[in-house]
Structure 1
Amino acid sequence: MANIRVFADSVSDLPQEWVRRYGITIVPLYIIFGEQSFRDGIDITTDDIYRRVDESGVLPRTAAPSPNDFVEAFRAATEGGDQVLYISMSARVSSTYQNAIIAMEELPEGLVTVIDSTHLSASYAMLVIMAARMLEQGDSLAETVSAIEERKARVEIDILIDRLDYLHKGGRVSSIQSMIGSMLQIRPVLGIKNGLIISTRKYRGKTQKALENVMKNVVDNMGSLDLKLVVIAQTVAEKSADYIRTYLLEHTDVQEIIVIEGGCTICSHTGPNTVAISYLKK
């Protein structure tokens, strides 16, 4: 029986310990400043991005891996006799998924399976980890694909944005919205619905107060949540991530909490001091 290798892209923000633990292959997106292109997490770090943005006032562009990038990555596995399960970032915000489909069709039929996670960062990482664990415990490829397809609609994510300037520079809020929001200390909470990033709530006041409101919302809905696994993501927001982790341990019966660091692609859009919590609904 062929070994099944799990692939993901760099938007999953999986920490190296999990990549090594489950033998996951990460296909990097590209971070583009002017004429310079860098592979996410390989040629550039989040600190590099923050420094460049502070110096220039301009956000980088991000680009999907090319079909050829995927062909080379997939072929390295399939030529060794393995099958590939590639779980992609949301197809509705990037051409990454479509480029992987093109690559899949260039390889012999049945060697590569591609799934659209419909998610990003913490919620995406959760699905990748679930798939890797299912395969490790002996579930078949078909069983694993079926489970991920069913669960992806039940995965939720709350993304608390601390600063509006990155959303403004990225064209997601207007100059007036950014100015007023900053003056009034408005902190939006974003979510993902059917693969698209949406605004779900807004809190006014200091970051700590907004965090408390986010966690109160989680606890208030605890009866509808599956708390076997929770994933927390942060971009230079270690204190906020630690607060969420401690709050969950004190107020819920969560079994496992994984804390990850938002990578270059995510931080290019949300900026520093962003924190997210992802969980599975029953």
Structure 2
Amino acid sequence: MKTAVLIDSNAGIKKDEAKELGIYLVSTPIIIDGEVYFEEENLTQEQFYEALMSDKDITSSMPSPGDVMDMWDELLKEYDEVAYIPLSSGLSNSCHAAVQLSDEYDGKVQVVDDHRISVTMRQSALDAKWMADNGKSAKEIKEALEQNAYNSAIYLTVEDLKYLKKGGRVTPAAAALGAVLNIKPVLATKGGKFDAVEKVRGMKKSIAKLLDYTEQTLDKLIEKNNVSQIRIGVAGTFLNQEDADNWYNMVKDRFIDIENIEYDPLSLVVAVHTGPNAAGIGISVILRDE
């Protein structure tokens, strides 16, 4: 049984890396002033952030159902089955739409709803590929990933609330108050909408709180899992490499017992809602035996 692993670009895996890993990718559209763009196709990081900070009208959408089905059809010419991992159903309708579309494929397409985004979704893709390479069916992959779904968490803090306001994640009044008082939220998700677990004044304090919440969650996961199974994905929308490196090193210095720590830039689809200079951490329990 040959099983293909397909993800959307919310996972933050770039095209070259996906090709190297043997994972397939469907792009999520970004709409800028009414025009449709796709990361790495007709939109660079520089172009995106220039448009974002110029206050252009920018939104994200779910992958076109037609594009998704075309990808399934193409993959099923070479593979027996497809395990498709879209963005969490708690954050987008793309998962529900894909489940409905998959009904036409007689079980050959299994849509995984493992309630993940960004670096934790990336981890799901890597686990899925490992399982596929070791002979697991698409259904087995779906069941394993969904069972492991909540052995993960994401914490995030943003520099400017206006981008969350644009996406309806915070009210205009809260965003205005935050700007005046320099309020920075610490946001958390386990696959649903991001909730503010704490609000503090200043980015430095927000980062400190983010690390504290990460440590609390890590302690709980380590109680039930071997520490070697824990992966930390350090993420951000930093505009220069030095800031990204500083954030990555800060996390590594804080969690010295975790060997598996990597930095992954947030995808542009996610950056639509966070804005530039957001800092995040995703924690996952690894399924694959490395």
TM-score by shorter chain over 0.5: yes
Post-superposition Cα deviations, 1:126-183, rounded to whole Å, max 9, x if no partner, equal 2222222233344444443222111111211001111112122333333332232122
Instruction: Report the Cα distance in structure 2 between the residues aligned to 1:31 and 1:171, rounded to whole angstroms.
Output: 17
Shift of 1:216: 2.9
Match of 1:146 among 132, 143, 150: 143
Match of 1:259 among 260, 263, 288: 263
Shift of 1:87: 0.8
**TM-score by structure 1 length?**
0.87
| Aligned length in residues | 278
* Greater strand share, structure number: 1
Post-superposition Cα deviations, 1:229-256, rounded to whole Å, max 9, x if no partner, equal 1112211265554344334433431121
Partner of 1:185: 182
CA contact (8 A) 2:187 2:195 kept: yes
Match of 2:70 among 60, 69, 72: 72
- The verdict on how the C-alpha distance between 1:7 and 1:27 changes in structure 2, with shifts beyond 3 A counting, is same
Query: Is 1:235 matched up with 2:237?
Result: yes
Post-superposition Cα deviations, 1:22-58, rounded to whole Å, max 9, x if no partner, equal 2111111111123311224422233322222333x24
Equivalent residues in 2 for 1:156-235, closer than 5 Å: 156-193=153-190, 195-205=192-202, 207-226=203-222, 227=227, 228-235=230-237
Partner of 1:111: 108
Instruction: Report the Cα distance in structure 2 between the residues aligned to 1:5 and 1:20, rounded to whole angstroms.
Output: 12
Structure 2 unaligned residues grouped into runs of 5+: none
- The verdict on how the C-alpha distance between 1:48 and 1:252 changes in structure 2, with shifts beyond 3 A counting, is same
Question: Could you tell which deviates more after superposition, 261-270 or 165-174?
Answer: 165-174
Identical aligned residues as a percent: 25
**Equivalent AA in structure 2 for residue 60 of structure 1:** I
Partner of 2:89: 91
Residue 276 of structure 1: SS of its match in structure 2?
strand
Instruction: Report the Cα distance in structure 2 between the residues aligned to 1:14 and 1:234, rounded to whole angstroms.
Output: 14
Instruction: Report the Cα distance in structure 1 between the residues aligned to 2:67 and 2:125, rounded to whole angstroms.
Output: 20
Query: Is 1:20 matched up with 2:19?
Result: yes
**TM-score by structure 2 length?**
0.85
CA contact (8 A) 2:37 2:43 kept: yes
